[in-house]
Chain A
Amino acid sequence: MSDFLFFLEVLIGGLLAGSLYALVALGFVLIYKASFVFNFAQSSFVFFAALSLCGFMELGLPMWAAVPVAISLMVVVGMATERLVLRPLVGQSEETLLMATIGLAFVVEGLAQAVWGVEVRTLDLGVGHHPIEWVMDRWGMLINKFDLVAAIVAWILVAVLALVFSRTKVGRGLRAVADDNSAALSIGIPLSHIWMLVWATAGVVALVAGMLWGARNGVQFALVDLALKALPVLIIGGFTSVPGVVVAGLLVGAFESVTEFYIGPLVGGGIDAWTPYALAVVFLMFRAEGLFGEKIIRRV
């Protein structure tokens, strides 16, 4: 197989993985856009959602029933977070809120494993994890069918959410709430409904991401580390931009994959553990607000 085709294969593999990173990052963006809180626990939500789904299915529910149950559970988790963690800390510094969501991450992870146990689960979504035959036959490239389907699902979800945010009444309400709570209240926007919607959406995103990643790699604690890769994506794409995290996700995925395959063998491999973070650091040094984020201005 020619060099170019190999590069393409590596690149596409990275882009597909990157689409999933973008999906996880989307959960962060949703919550941040609506409440200016960075929910560090979103990565743990991914794990929690996927694990709970498996748990419900083990209890006997078929998948089409387990999914809505899992979604409702995520909504409950979200509401509990808002009520028990965020509300008591209203007005505190950004750092305090960040620490609180880190604590939340531990709570969610601990809870998930205490309730459902620590065994690795497999999740079968009905799509095969094998190379697409006609691509293999035609060009000799290995492109995993599941990865492609997963990426497409991710893109669809992202597109739907982006449209909802910018075009619909609900989306506008969300942005109003993010900008100014009391002002939004005073024009009749029902705050608690909006919160519920935001957390439900973030929960759905977490569940979908968890299902896709879980079906690919197994539903296990390592999912959290994987989901943490959304952090560099957010840095690079900006916390408030949906197109930003999409582009950034693709960029991070591609970068991670290409460097691992081309530079990795020279230094012993496994560099994908830190390359996304290194890329984020480079971005931080030169463009701290990310590709699409808002420039941070401080008044003295």
Chain B
Amino acid sequence: MTAPVQSPRRAFDIGAPILELESISLRFGGVQALTNISFNVLEHEVRAIIGPNGAGKSSMLNVINGVYVPQEGTIAFRGEQVKGMKPTRAARLGIARTFQNIALFRGMSVLDNIMAGRTLQSRAGFLEVALQLPRARREETANREAAEEIIEFLAIEHIRRTPVARLPYGLQKRVELGRALAANPKVLLLDEPMAGMNIEEKQDMCRFILDVNDHYGTTVVLIEHDMGVVMDLSDRVVVLDYGRKIGDGTPDEVRSNQDVINAYLGVAH
């Protein structure tokens, strides 16, 4: 259990639902990954998705993001249904994410990875970049400025030119967060952002997540195993087990939910 993180007074009040998932079911061949999952995410909140291993948490994020297409169910963003969510569509809506197994661009430096996150902010075509026309140069400088802001925020100035493949695991996860932030997202999906980190790294990551939520108002949906982190960080929690939702509420409510306790203790059901 990590030391409690003191979060400053909330700057953005929790608002209307920004993401609504209705009756999502997902199958891979014979394997039922998700069954009839419904929950929502309110704007500016920190929503945790927890559950034992194999519960379908990553699959849930993949569905929100459009990487997996659910056989049944709907996704609504800001009240409007999105038919056929695809990763590029999700990106355009303002949903960014990190991956459990780190999906950084291994051949590029930290700076390039983060600037790659600014793709949707660039209007200049390849010809403009080739000829270094004014709009291309302005955008490149703007991208660089935005990336540097994030680099400063995440305290990774000293490694900005390092190829990401050479970085230790904890720093790679931080860079991946940076890349997701570069897109100025409205919703940030984090898949186990603190997996494999030691106490200090976890505290740093918690701080970053809280700051992002607080200073930029970014809605955060995160998958996390560390209960202490979940209890401290999140406003509300969804609990999954074997692809079904077994709990939904504030951390305290969920903590005292018997079904949730059973799932974690492995009680047969």
Contacts and interface: CB of A to CB of B under 8 A. Distances in A.
Report A-B touching, CB under 8 Å. Answer: yes
A300 B103 CA distance: 9
Contacts of A300: 62, 67, 99, 103
A178 B252 CA distance: 52
Contacts of B67: 300
Interface in A125-154: none
A300 B98 CA distance: 11
Nearest to A297: B28
Contacts, number: 4
Is chain B's binding surface mostly helix, strand, loop or mixed? loop
Interface of A: 300
Interface of B: 62, 67, 99, 103
B6 to A, nearest CB: 35
4 contacts: A300-B62, A300-B67, A300-B99, A300-B103
A300 to B, nearest CB: 6
A133 B202 CA distance: 84
Nearest to A295: B29
Contacts of B62: 300
A300 B28 CA distance: 13
Contacts of B99: 300
Nearest to B65: A300
Name the 4 nearest CB pairs between A and B, nearest first. Answer: A300-B67, A300-B62, A300-B99, A300-B103
A240 to B, nearest CB: 19
B209 to A, nearest CB: 22
A92 to B, nearest CB: 14
A300 B189 CA distance: 15
A300 B97 CA distance: 13
A242 to B, nearest CB: 25
Nearest to A299: B101
Nearest to B67: A300
B68 to A, nearest CB: 8
Nearest to B101: A300
B7 to A, nearest CB: 31
A93 to B, nearest CB: 11
A296 to B, nearest CB: 14
Contacts of B103: 300
A300 B99 CA distance: 8
A43 B39 CA distance: 57
A300 B62 CA distance: 9
Nearest to A300: B67
A258 B70 CA distance: 44
B26 to A, nearest CB: 13
A257 B67 CA distance: 43
A300 B60 CA distance: 12
Nearest to B58: A300
